[in-house]
């Protein structure tokens, strides 16, 4: 129950903007009830050659919706046997002769109907259905989303759309992901399809920057400096990534194109250590931590490295500046200015610095929720130094939830663009690997296995 409440409040924060923008009744329904909407998804069938791709399609569609964390998926064993494939399959029941109005026991069933799904034993709020076929050598999907609580077909339909893809497994996966993204958007969830996770891997023998799809597929090497490259971060438009690299005896910031992987010009000031780069949401500036006057402090510069300005001037280490993605005006960072390193918050001009955490333990790796209100970070609170766990917090109220608990080191949480997932790094007692989970700590999935894989960041795809 606690998790549900947490999730509902999280979802409310996440989707506030969408609620305002969209008049969609679903969003109101979801957040009015504090319950996850119940979703039924039929097993889609394919006409002709499309049928052999349906196993891939159905698995992908189910997983995409289920892993979103915002829906309660109704088990298929509860479904009616008479399943619709298109809206015209629905046949409203007719009143039996002599029956009084409203006496459902006296209605005449004429085929599949909305109440088959909204009533027991299915008890769904929504139904996803449709079919596939082959058209001009392509795989075609007719996909529908119905609100089965509505009285008639016309008002029930929320999505009725055609999708096209190549006539193979990849095509089946593609149209399933696109359809799922449209469905999830109705519930205020941004699809993760197309998003990328950048991370550090030493599988080649050197720490290099790598990227992979949100589900762990398509892992590819992004840098080849053959030194130590780490601390990746990706610009909001997905086009650039910055990282820290040990070049000719000092740590420097590098910026590369995410598209071509080529190096982009960036001027580093003279310093033994420049690290933890961060883009502002408008991609016009870069923040970093640099050792300029004997201490590593927070700085900001133009995206090409020019116009550098030091934001903090303290005799302690300060690293990991992270800009609020909503406002672009305030930052989280890690500072040892009060003793043990803690999470701090200040304006992007360096004013109004205040400690966010309470001074206990050691804090690392701040990450902003896309809504600019929730945050995530790693903290040793309650454990020995080095034994990090992942926490999420509402920054304004400082209300906090601990998501992991002492199962090895759990570090580097990073909010997914959908605002309901986190990617993080966990040892589970062995080598560190990258995992994703829902923001309530459930549905943990390991995405990497080769070598040591660390410091994941979840990036928007190139748009």
Partner 1 sequence: MRNLSGTLATAAFAAVLMVSAGGCKKKVPVPTPPPPTAPATTPEPPPSAPLSLRINSFTGEPHSIERGQAATLRWSVGNSTDISIDQGLGAVAANGSRQVFPSQTTTYTLIAKGGGNQDTRSVTIEVSSSVPPPPPRTPGVAFSGSDLLSREAQDVYFGYDKNDINAEGRDTLTKDADVIKRILTADPTFTIVVEGHCDERGSEEYNLALGDRRALAVKEFLVQLGVPDERMKTISFGKERPVCTDQNEACFQKNRRGHLAPAQ
Q: Which spans of this chain sit near partner 1 (rule: CB under 8 A)?
A: 228, 230-231, 244, 249-251, 272-273, 275-276, 289, 291, 294-296, 317-320, 334, 336, 340-341, 362, 364-365, 378, 384-386, 388, 411, 454-455
Give the count of alpha carbons within 13 A of 122, CB side only: 23
Min CB(387)–partner 1 separation in Å: 8
Min CB(206)–partner 1 separation in Å: 11
> With respect to partner 1, which residue has the nearer C-beta, 113 or 362?
362
Min CB(317)–partner 1 separation in Å: 4
> With respect to partner 1, which residue has the nearer C-beta, 303 or 378?
378
Name the nearest CA neighbour of 237 among 293, 282, 170, 176: 282
Contact 71, 30 (CB under 8 A): no
Min CB(446)–partner 1 separation in Å: 20
> With respect to partner 1, which residue has the nearer C-beta, 129 or 388?
388
E strand segments, 395-444: 399-402, 410-415, 421-426, 433-438
> With respect to partner 1, which residue has the nearer C-beta, 62 or 379?
379
Residue 65 host element (H or E): helix 54-67
Contact 364, 376 (CB under 8 A): no
> With respect to partner 1, which residue has the nearer C-beta, 136 or 384?
384
Min CB(425)–partner 1 separation in Å: 10
The residue to which tokens 């992004």 are assigned: 222
Alpha helix (H) ranges present in 348-438?
none
User: What is the 8-class DSSP label of residue 352?
Assistant: S
> With respect to partner 1, which residue has the nearer C-beta, 296 or 459?
296
Contact 251, 245 (CB under 8 A): yes
Min CB(432)–partner 1 separation in Å: 11
Specify whether the backbone of 102 is left (phi greater than 0), alpha (psi in -120 to 50) or beta: left
Name the nearest CA neighbour of 367 among 322, 326, 405, 327: 322
């Amino acid at each position: 129950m606690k998790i549900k409440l947490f999730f509902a409040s999280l979802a409310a924060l996440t989707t506030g903007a969408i609620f305002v923008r969209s008049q969609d009744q679903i969003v109101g329904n979801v957040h009015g009830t504090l319950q996850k909407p119940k979703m039924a998804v039929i097993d889609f069938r394919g006409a002709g050659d499309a049928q052999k791709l349906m196993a891939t399609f159905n698995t992908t569609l189910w997983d995409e919706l289920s892993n979103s964390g915002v829906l309660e998926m109704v088990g298929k064993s509860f479904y009616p046997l008479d399943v619709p494939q298109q809206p015209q399959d629905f046949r409203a029941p007719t009143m039996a002769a002599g029956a009084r109005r409203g006496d459902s026991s006296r209605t005449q069933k004429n085929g599949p109907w909305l109440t088959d799904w909204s009533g027991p034993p299915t008890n769904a709020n929504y139904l996803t259905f449709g079919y596939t076929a082959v058209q001009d050598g392509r795989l075609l999907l007719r996909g529908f989303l119905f609100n089965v609580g509505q009285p008639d077909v016309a008002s029930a339909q929320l999505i009725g759309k055609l999708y096209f893809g190549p006539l193979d497994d990849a095509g089946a996966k593609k149209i399933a992901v696109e359809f799922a993204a449209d469905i999830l958007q109705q519930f205020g969830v941004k699809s993760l399809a197309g998003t990328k996770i950048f991370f550090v891997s030493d599988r080649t023998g050197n720490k290099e920057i790598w990227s992979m799809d949100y589900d762990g597929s398509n892992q590819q090497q992004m840098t080849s400096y053959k030194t130590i490259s780490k601390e990746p971060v990706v610009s909001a438009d997905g086009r650039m990534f910055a990282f820290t690299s040990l070049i000719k005896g000092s740590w420097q910031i590098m910026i590369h194109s995410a598209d071509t992987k080529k190096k982009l010009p960036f001027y580093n000031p003279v310093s033994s250590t420049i690290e933890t780069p961060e883009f502002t949401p408008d991609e016009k500036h870069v923040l970093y931590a640099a050792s300029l006057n004997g201490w590593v402090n927070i700085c900001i510069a133009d995206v090409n490295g020019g116009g550098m300005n030091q934001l903090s001037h303290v005799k302690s280490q300060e690293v990991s500046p992270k800009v609020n993605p909503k406002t672009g005006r305030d930052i989280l960072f890690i500072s040892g200015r009060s003793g043990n390193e803690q999470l701090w918050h200040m304006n992007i001009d360096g004013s109004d610095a205040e400690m966010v955490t309470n001074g206990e333990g050691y804090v690392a790796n701040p990450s902003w929720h896309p809504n600019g209100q929730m945050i995530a970070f790693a903290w040793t609170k309650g454990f020995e130094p080095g034994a990090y766990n992942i926490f999420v917090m509402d920054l304004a109220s400082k209300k906090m939830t601990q998501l992991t608990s002492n199962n090895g080191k759990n570090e580097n949480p990073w909010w997914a663009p959908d605002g309901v997932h986190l990617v993080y790094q966990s040892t589970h007692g062995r080598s560190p690997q990258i995992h994703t989970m829902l923001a309530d700590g459930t549905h943990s999935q390991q995405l990497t296995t080769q070598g040591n894989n660390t410091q994941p960041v979840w990036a928007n795809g190139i748009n």
